[in-house]
Amino acid sequence: MNTQPTLTKDDGGTGTTGAPDSPDGLKAGLKNRHLSMIAIGGVIGAGLFVGSGSGIAAAGPAILLSYALVGTMVVFVMRMLGEMAAARPSSGSFSAYADQALGRWAGFSIGWLYWFFWVVVLAVEATAGAKILEGWIPAVPQWAWALIVMVVLTATNLASVASYGEFEFWFAGIKVVAIAAFVVVGLLAVFGVLPGSDNPGAGFAHLTDAGGFFPMGAGAILTGVLMVVFSFMGSEIVTLAAGESEDPQRAVTKATNSVIWRIGVFYLGSILVVLTLLPWNDRSILEKGSYVAALDSIGIPHAGQVMNVIVLTAVLSCLNSGLYTASRMAFSLGRRGDAPKPFARVNERGVPQAAILGSVVFGFVAVFFNYKWPDTVFAFLLNASGAVALFVWLVICVTQLRMRGIILRESPEKLVVRMWLFPYLTWATIAMIVFVLGYMLYDGGSAREQVVLSLLVAALVIVVALVRERFAKAAARR
């Protein structure tokens, strides 16, 4: 039995929405519209806007298949996670489920690795946002902008979960509207029916007119997979947030069922538009970025500044959600006795204040490392967290294999979301993830370094977990 630290609960007993608080003391302050937009925006990171050009340059039009393969993997992982989260909503999500299904060591290890991933992301995104803001207002130095952004979003998360939800609703909303408009306007230009467009409207000819659909060979699909896989990280945030919503089961079910069209429209749809507006080897895709180059080809004025606003929104959204996610994982670890006891407490507003501040302090330290030692200390942190996304997905798959039986045995009526073709698709997804990790090791370069360093950090955390478990068992026998 896990010993649960005492919680400081809100005296009011209800969230700002009138829904009952969650059993762990968190305020049920997220409305259904918040969860819906978090679910939609969760799959749209800044990496889609910034990093897609490199993927296109590496694989050509075949990058669409790379996105489709990774998208399929994410759909399956989200379906498995949705099955568990709908049955047992928890602020610790997959870490709490791994704890129950695989053992304390598994929940401890994947929980701390996931926390580590997001606090490093805080530094990356804060720096990216600061660069954009410094370009607009050069009088304020980049480090000051990073500090301002972190302080503002920390205050938002400390205020209440409803504040986080409201900010994320608008951040995600801007991203969704921007990409939807890009897809619609782009397709009109592709078929030559957009009034005043500068694009020749070549239809789908650009998919094959510059060396065919596989200009770099079929093997480039796998290279593309390595380049796009990390832009999908964040899809699982909605299952952590569901524990603080009015109707967790409904929110998770809705988010899980809609993940297919979200990935299809936002990732495959927008990349298809870029590839049909311009030949894949057009130099502007790498020089300006894929989306800016596509907008320029249509004749959209000030395309670069328009995209900077959207990228900044994506960065702020990622920062906001990263801080929320890291703090809730720290809170869940604290409740299970796997983190300092103060992390398990909530204040009178139902907010885990210590968990938020603990996460943001490490984020601030990582930002300092990024400015002071970008090529040594911070590069190590970045590479050491690089493959954590794949580890998380792998643990979700293995956990679901065990949790299905536990849920059927203890509360079969809560199995409202089911993984398709269980257990065959679960095993197939495990094989896909292991293959991607293996290919990263084979591919060499930065991909190999990320896997090796991430494996070393994971091994260290697992050793700590196993040693703690052994000491706990020895103490219990005394």
Structure tokens at 59: 């694989």
Q: CA of 446: how far to CAs of 125, 142, 316, in Å?
A: 20, 27, 27
Whether the pLDDT of residue 274 is over 90: the answer is yes
Q: Do the Cβ atoms of 150 and 364 come closer than 8 Å?
A: yes
Whether the pLDDT of residue 15 is over 60: the answer is no
Structure tokens at 294: 């596509």
Q: What is the pLDDT of residue 102?
A: 93
Question: What's the chain's average pLDDT?
Answer: 86
**Which of 30-39, 282-291, 393-402 is predicted least confidently?**
30-39
Whether the pLDDT of residue 331 is over 80: the answer is yes
Q: DSSP class of residue 269?
A: I
How many angstroms separate the CA atoms of 231 and 272, rounded? 16
Q: What is the reported pTM? A: 0.88
Residues contacting residue 191 through CB under 8 Å, at least 6 positions apart: 201, 203
Q: DSSP class of residue 20?
A: B
Query: Which residues pair with residue 20 across a beta bridge?
Result: 14
Q: Estimate to the nearest angstrom the gap between the alpha carbon of 150 and the chain centroid.
A: 18
- Whether omega for the bond prior to residue 200 falls within 30 degrees of 0, making it cis, is no
Whether the pLDDT of residue 243 is over 80: the answer is no
Question: Which residue, chain included where needed, has tokens 């789908």?
Answer: 204
Torsion-angle region of 197 (φ positive above 0: left; ψ -120 to 50: alpha; else: beta):
beta
Q: What is the identity of the amino acid at 254?
A: K
Residues contacting residue 368 through CB under 8 Å, at least 6 positions apart: none
Q: Do the Cβ atoms of 110 and 396 come closer than 8 Å?
A: no
Q: How confident is the model at residue 237 (pLDDT cuts 50, 70, 90)?
A: confident
Whether the pLDDT of residue 43 is over 70: the answer is no
If you write DSSP's letter for every residue of 187-247 in order, what string do you get? HHHHTT-STT--S---TTGGGTTTT-S-TT-TTHHHHHHHHHGGGGTTTTHHHHHGGGBS-
How many angstroms separate the CA atoms of 435 and 70, rounded? 12
- Whether omega for the bond prior to residue 23 falls within 30 degrees of 0, making it cis, is no
pLDDT tens digits, one per residue of 53-95: 889 998 999 999 999 999 999 999 999 999 999 888 887 889 9
pLDDT tens digits, one per residue of 205-230: 999 998 999 999 888 898 888 888 87
Question: Which residue, chain included where needed, has tokens 């990935």?
Answer: 263
pLDDT tens digits, one per residue of 140-195: 998 899 999 999 989 998 988 888 889 888 988 888 889 899 999 999 999 999 99
φ/ψ of 203, rounded to 5, equals 65, -135
If you write DSSP's letter for every residue of 49-75 in order, what string do you get? HHHHHHHHHHHGGGHHHHHHHHHHHHH
Residues contacting residue 412 through CB under 8 Å, at least 6 positions apart: none
Whether the pLDDT of residue 19 is over 50: the answer is no
How many angstroms separate the CA atoms of 61 and 55, rounded? 10
